[in-house]
Chain A
């Protein structure tokens, strides 16, 4: 089946640093979404992208829909301790509109 691979697997940074992570697929996606999961909670939607090349921001977070439609990127500027968590990309596989598959996740740890 289709897979979404995220890198890096984990990041350990200092408060105030900028963060970049990405998500890649072997096939084309028409929609990319980025979710964050706090410890012990379910994921929460951060940003949704619907068009190749689209760049969308949500506060200190910026995500881009890759022009090949096989990747997406998430940047966090000036990280703070509450940014800690697992970040997942997600998308509807094979053109299906009824469901999402999730990436492998990037664990972010922020040292105050």
Chain B
């Protein structure tokens, strides 16, 4: 089925380790987003991209990096993981012209 695919679904990291959360969409959407959702909370925007080669910071970008070399892929990089980055991470995409975001099923990350 077409949609947004996130990998991995679960991950445990030790403090100071690094990892990349993968996100891919096959709907040819220009816009892609990374959100984090802490327990019992809403979603906070980390980074977003309006097209290949263009990225911008959201509300909570510190400790993360992104790249957008293709329309399909929008990986999120965590350098030097910290316990405060324990969260569920959602990737989303949308087409130009409307706000109908399609979300992936999330990556649950625990930093210990």
Contact = CB atoms under 8 A, between A and B. Distances in A.
Interface of A: 1, 4, 31, 33, 35, 40-45, 48, 88, 90, 92, 98-105
Contact of A45 (B44, B90, B101, B105): B101
Given A42-B105, A43-B101, A100-B33, 14 more contacts: A31-B99, A42-B90, A42-B104, A44-B103, A48-B100, A98-B31, A98-B48, A99-B45, A99-B48, A100-B99, A102-B42, A103-B42, A104-B41, A105-B41
Contacts of B43: 43, 88, 102
A48 B42 contact: no
Given A42-B106, A98-B48, A105 B99 contact: no
Interface of B: 4, 31, 33, 35, 41-45, 48, 50, 56, 58-59, 90, 92, 98-101, 103-106
A40 B71 CA distance: 27
Contacts of A41: 103, 105-106
A45 B94 CA distance: 11
A90 B75 CA distance: 24
Given A99-B33, A103-B42, A43 B98 contact: no
A92 B90 CA distance: 18
Contacts of A35: 101
Q: What 3 pairs across the A-B complex have the smallest Cβ distances?
A: A42-B103, A102-B43, A102-B42
Contacts of A48: 98-100
A92 B99 contact: yes
Given A99-B33, A99-B58, A101-B59, A43 B103 contact: yes
